[in-house]
Amino acid sequence: MSDSRWIPLESNPEVMNEWAESVGLLEGSAEFVDVYGLDPELLAMVPRPVKAVILLFPLTGGIDDWRKSEDDRIAAEGQPAIDPTVFWIKQTIGNACGTIGLLHALANSDVAYVPESPLQKFIDLCKDKTPQERAHILDSTSLFASAHHSAASSGQTAVPSDLDTDLHFTCFVQAPEASARESQVGTGVRRLIELDGRRAGPVDRGESENLLEDTAAYVKEHVLSRGVSIHFSMIALAGRDSNSGL
């Protein structure tokens, strides 16, 4: 873990949109929006297409231990192969999970960036790097620390004097089956992938026909069931068009 420690980011679409546009997301190509609840009628209010979902949840009620035990199980037993183009960053900076969640959402979506923007350059630079090398680039680049600090300071909640927090961001995206890309034959089957820099790597959450609904189903079964319903929130990255495919 790096010695760096950032201000916790607020789960707020305005904060996230400010961060994204400050580093190069093309205005009007996509935006972060609230997901007001997990019931079908509330999910239907979210603009489509949904390109990524960011979840904020507390690492309490045994959920952190459960996630660590899941990493141990995956290391011992394996999981379905993850599409090799999925972009994942290891978190080494304290309280940087908000920025890493945003990077995971944008880097794994077909959104448009301002040409030669810092965000575009960072993603291009990291493509051929390991997750740890990407973490080092993030830690050694002042740009994202500054963007994070600015966004964290602009939220509705006052900046805390105590930077210790048990709240954590993770991100959900869709990806093709790894075998489909390897064979260069698209099967149409997509997988729900969880991207969390605190984990040992990306986690396959099963087949996915609808990113938002499938994420909501996962949250109901594995997050809310552990008693964290009061302290969770979801933000969706919604775009104007969808160019999915291999």
Q: Which residues contact 79 (CB under 8 A, 6 or more apart)?
A: 203, 204
Q: Is residue 245 part of a domain?
A: no
Q: Is residue 203 part of a domain?
A: yes
Provide the residue range defining the domain that includes 131.
Answer: 13-239
88 vs 4 pLDDT, higher one: 88
Q: Is residue 74 part of a domain?
A: yes
Q: What was the pLDDT predicted at 226?
A: 74
Q: What was the pLDDT predicted at 141?
A: 80
Give the mean pLDDT of 90-101.
Answer: 92
Give the mean pLDDT of 72-97.
Answer: 94
Q: Is residue 6 part of a domain?
A: no
Catalytic residues: 97, 168
Distance CA 215, CA 194 (A): 9
Q: What was the pLDDT predicted at 187?
A: 61
Give the mean pLDDT of 57-83.
Answer: 92
Q: What was the pLDDT predicted at 183?
A: 56
- The count of domains in the chain is 1
Q: Across the strands, what pairs with 174?
A: 192
Q: What was the pLDDT predicted at 232?
A: 84
- pLDDT above 70 as % of the chain: 85
Q: What is the pLDDT of residues 125-173, one digit of tens each?
A: 898 999 999 999 988 887 777 777 777 676 545 444 444 567 899 999 9
Average pLDDT taken over every residue of the chain:
86
SS3 call for 42? helix
Q: What was the pLDDT predicted at 230?
A: 64
Instruction: Decide: 23 and 143 in contact? Cβ < 8 Å.
Output: yes
Residue 182's pLDDT band, with cuts at 50, 70 and 90, is low
Lowest mean pLDDT among 31-35, 150-154, 181-185, 221-225: 181-185
Residue 3 has pLDDT above 70, yes or no: no
Q: Is residue 3 part of a domain?
A: no
Helices vs. strands in the chain: H and E counts, helices first: 9, 6
Q: Is residue 4 part of a domain?
A: no
- The domain that holds 50 is classified in CATH as 3.40.532.10
Q: Is residue 123 part of a domain?
A: yes
Q: Is residue 2 part of a domain?
A: no
Residue 242 has pLDDT above 50, yes or no: no
Q: Which residues contact 119 (CB under 8 A, 6 or more apart)?
A: 20, 23, 24, 25, 106, 113
Place of tokens 């990407």: 134
Which tokens hold the place of 30? Answer: 């996509």
